[in-house]
Amino acid sequence: MNAVTALLVIAVVYAIGDFVAQKTKAVCSMLFVSGIIFMVGFWFGIPATLFEDAVIVKLAIALIPMLMIHMGTLMKLRDLKEEWKTVIIALGAIVAAAAALFIIGSPIIGKEYAVPAAGPISGGVVATLIMSEAAKAKGLETVLVFVTLLLVLQNFVGLPVASVCLSREGRRLREIFRRGEGLTADKGSKAKSNPEEPTWRLFPATPKDLQTPFILIMKAMLVGWLAVMCAKALGGVINQFVMALIFGIVFYEIGFLEHKILDKANSTGLALFALLVPIFMSLNKATPQMVASLIFPIVVAFAVSVVGIAIVAFVSSKIFGYTWEMCLAVGVCCLFGFPGTFIVSQEVANAVGETSEERDFILTGILPKMLVSGFTTVTIASVFLAGFLVKLL
């Protein structure tokens, strides 16, 4: 298959995945639909060399540091500080999920499955990619397929749990509103910082007329290159993708990088298009027999993780004064992230609230926590966790 045809096939599958995700309001995620199409397609005639034919694999790996830089420019540290309780609950949840997998899951499904499972379950694509690269280096083809299937299936675990919990929390908030009570201060009453203004201006702002795609991409690539060089200088003690995320946060806070820099460069979509290729390319090894053999490890991995998250949610509710349902919803955000965090909050507010005022009140009570949790787990914490756990694989 020539490169143009291969790229078109990949683009068509992505488009179908996006279409279904939009129509199902992210219940069937783009990752799930695309992953299933690729896997079944490889069984029924799509060439196993599809992604190699598209000559995009090496580019995808090279673009990951730049995408991590972009992720570091999505939210300011001050905004995370304002929702510090949510951040702690979210961090506790993914640590608990990883610990439960390691302690409880390892004896049941084996360490070779339990450890890499923490990547996709604790976060998103980049954490999964870190685990996939390590598994590929060790020749663990079954593990490669396992972590990919966890990634594409996690929405079906996280979203229903979050929806049930937020519905109960929404009804509680509705009753508070009907009694004439207001949201307490810890429910996000403080104004958020201006994302376009750095916390510490150490670099002059790039004039608007110079914020062209090429200049912005160059800045992101420059910081990504510095991060990779720094990681190599440290002898790989810190994973290069983790280092890129750290550099992205720091250079955004000091004013060198713009807020959502790749969005401003109109490049996020193309970068994500390439980034997903290393994730899906392992599916050409997923025979029906292999998938059948992985059903039990997948079920156990999800069940053990949710139990760990639920325990932390219960303890957190006693410590921070949130309801257990709100804590559990915050904890499972790692299983779907944005835009699922936004969509499920909107759907619950619209379903539970009977007037526009009630819906606004409920949304104000749950949406900030869900957004911050999704960002904390999927964008930041999962990358750090995967960078640590990959050494145990």
Give per-residue pLDDT as tens, 353-364: 889 889 888 988
Is-contact 363 349, C-beta < 8 A? yes
pLDDT of residue 142: 86
Residue 346 has pLDDT above 90, yes or no: no
Q: For 88-92, what is the mean pLDDT?
A: 93
Residue 28 has pLDDT above 90, yes or no: no
* Distance in angstroms between the alpha carbons of the first and the last residue of the chain: 35
Q: What percent of the chain has pLDDT over 90?
A: 38
Q: For 144-163, what is the mean pLDDT?
A: 84
Q: What angle do CA 66, 70, 73 make, to 5 degrees?
A: 145
Is-contact 297 107, C-beta < 8 A? no
pLDDT of residue 174: 92
**182 falls in which pLDDT band (50, 70, 90)?**
low
Give per-residue pLDDT as tens, 110-137: 988 988 888 888 776 777 778 887 888 8
pLDDT of residue 189: 46
Cα distance between residue 372 and residue 392, in whole Å: 29
Q: What angle do CA 119, 248, 208 make, to 5 degrees?
A: 135
55-58: list long-range contacts, CB under 8 Å, 24+ apart: 55/3, 55/6, 56/7, 56/10, 56/274, 56/277, 57/277, 57/278, 57/281
pTM for the model stands at 0.72
Residue with tokens 């915050």: 330
Give per-residue pLDDT as tens, 220-237: 999 999 999 999 999 877
Is-contact 305 161, C-beta < 8 A? no
pLDDT of residue 184: 47
Cα distance between residue 139 and residue 77, in whole Å: 39
Task: Output the six-digit token pair for 226.
Answer: 């510095």
Give per-residue pLDDT as tens, 268-327: 888 888 888 887 887 888 889 988 999 999 999 999 999 999 999 999 999 999 999 999
Cα distance between residue 147 and residue 121, in whole Å: 9
Domain locations in the chain? 56-392
pLDDT of residue 15: 94
**188 falls in which pLDDT band (50, 70, 90)?**
very low
Mean pLDDT value across the chain: 86
